Amino acid sequence: MTTALKRTPLYHEHVAAGARMVPFGGWEMPVQYTGIIEEHRATRGAVGLFDVSHMGEFEVEGPGALAALQHLTTNDVAALEVGQIQYSVLCYPNGTIVDDLTVYRMSDERYMLTVNAGNIDKDWAHVTKSTEHFKDAQWRNSSEGTGLIAVQGPNAEALVGRLADRDVTAIGYYRFARGTVGEVPTLISRTGYTGEDGFELYAPADGTAQLWKALLGAGRADGATPVGLGARDTLRLEMKYALYGNDIDDTTNALEAGLGWVVKPAKAEFIGREALEKVRAEGLRRRLVGIEMVDKAVARHGYPIKKDGRAVGIVTSGSYGPSVDKYIGIAYVETALAAVGTALEVEIRGQDKAAQIVRTPFHASKVKKPG
């Protein structure tokens, strides 16, 4: 472990709670408090509190902000209303992925981007350099001054609602509002990475500990539990949400990763559009699919996928899914073999273990749909 690891505003809360701290993307983060499976179940059954302050936030403002974001991201930013959020992708010119992110429209000419912790420096260089020629767009990296707590699970709405100075039930999925939660000024975002209903609460770094304590204190009756990165990973795995560095990176293109729904070539020019149009025209060579082990074994990132002994793909994520009680994974597989029900093998320590492609998400999503 190096001494250069960064700490979130909640570091001391985690240590005091007995969390096991591990290095993650340059940060010292809690991987678990009591146990990954217990924290996973608490999120699905009640409400989990996640410190995701390590994520990065960039802001871009000005008459040229929309054009800069249209150039940078694959989704159609012009479709965003003020108060709305969009999932999107930053691509390289060859269509592979710099990062996945969410884009918030804060006001007419101001936007916020939330990016992965391990990619903050790379993304900052990419977005500022790639938009140098957009004169009327000012960028600001607000990552250091911003804390972020995800509140996820069936009791999230009741818990946040009790602490908020406004009606949070009116905030639709992928919408946000400003307010206070536990008397801390907060951007209340109806988003998450678990497949449960819930919120992501952006707060000033110096107010994040107060917000965390307020949620834990008020949440006792709701079964609120701090949840580490271990369960965050199993929760997102059960939803087949891609994780940068595991399932998507600068060697995978956005279409084969199953992110075609946020790639909008008709909107305007953007970085990677030409390459992705070519991929679309030529057809995908491989697709990201969900697999379930038939033989008893655990698929892990990097294990080869085979069909009758021939290498046909690779596992990108895999573990035990506590809510589905199965060994599940995400894998790239040749397009011809990517249909649900296809029998495959995963090579595990030199042995081929039976698996099959299944429908995803593995566990039914409970997110609040736009109403």
> How many CB atoms are located within 10 Å of the residue 31 CB?
17
Q: Kindly state whether residue 198 participates in binding another protein, applying the rule CB under 8 A.
A: no
User: Which of 6, 10, 7, 29 lies closest to 213, judged by CA?
Assistant: 10
Interaction of residue 253 with another protein, rule CB under 8 A = no
Q: Closer to another protein by CB, 32 or 208: give it.
A: 32
Is residue 118 a contact point for another protein (CB under 8 A)? Answer: no
Instruction: For residue 205, state whether it binds another protein (rule: CB under 8 A).
Output: no
319 near another protein (CB under 8 A): yes
Residue with smaller CB distance to another protein, 155 or 319: 319
Torsion over CA: 270, 276, 280, 286 (sign): negative
What is the rounded end-to-end Cα distance, in angstroms, of the chain? 47
Q: Show the binding pattern over residues 9-38: x = contacts another protein (CB under 8 A), - = does not.
A: -----------x----------xx--xxxx
Q: Is 219 in the site for another protein (CB under 8 A)?
A: no
Instruction: Give, as ranges, the residues between 40 and 69 that touch another protein (CB under 8 A).
Output: none
Judged by CB under 8 A, the number of residues near another protein is 19
Residues 89, 256 contacting (CB under 8 angstroms) = no
Nearer of residues 128 and 246 to another protein, judged by Cβ = 246
| CA geometry: angle 161, 166, 171, nearest 5 deg | 75
Nearer to another protein, 99 or 345 (CB): 345
Q: Does 225 bind another protein (CB under 8 A)?
A: no
**Phi/psi of residue 265, nearest 5 degrees:** -65, -20
Stretch that binds another protein, among 61-69, 150-158, 248-256, 318-326 (CB under 8 A): 318-326
234 sits near another protein (criterion: CB under 8 A) = yes
Torsion, Cα of 128, 174, 83, 97 (10° steps)? 10
**Helices 36-45, 229-239: crossing angle, 10 deg rounding:** 60
Q: 104 or 193, CB closer to another protein?
A: 193
- Report, in Å, the least distance between residue 324 CB and another protein: 12
* Closer CB to another protein, 22 or 284, in the complex: 22
Closest CA to 160 of 182, 128, 145: 182
> Is residue 208 within the footprint of another protein (CB under 8 A)?
no
Stretch that binds another protein, among 76-84, 130-138, 184-192, 314-322 (CB under 8 A): 314-322
The 10 Å CB-count burial string (b at 16+, else e) for 184-193 is bebbbbbbbb
- Interaction residues for another protein, span 267-296 (CB under 8 A): 296
274-280 long-range contacts (CB < 8 A, ≥24 apart) are: 274/93, 275/91, 275/93, 275/94, 275/95, 276/74, 276/91, 276/95, 278/95, 279/95, 279/253, 279/255, 280/255
Cβ 20 to another protein shortest distance, Å: 8
Instruction: Provide, rounded to whole angstroms, the least separation between the CB of residue 230 and another protein.
Output: 6
Residues interacting with another protein, by CB under 8 A?
20, 31-32, 35-38, 230, 233-234, 296-298, 300, 319-320, 322, 327, 349
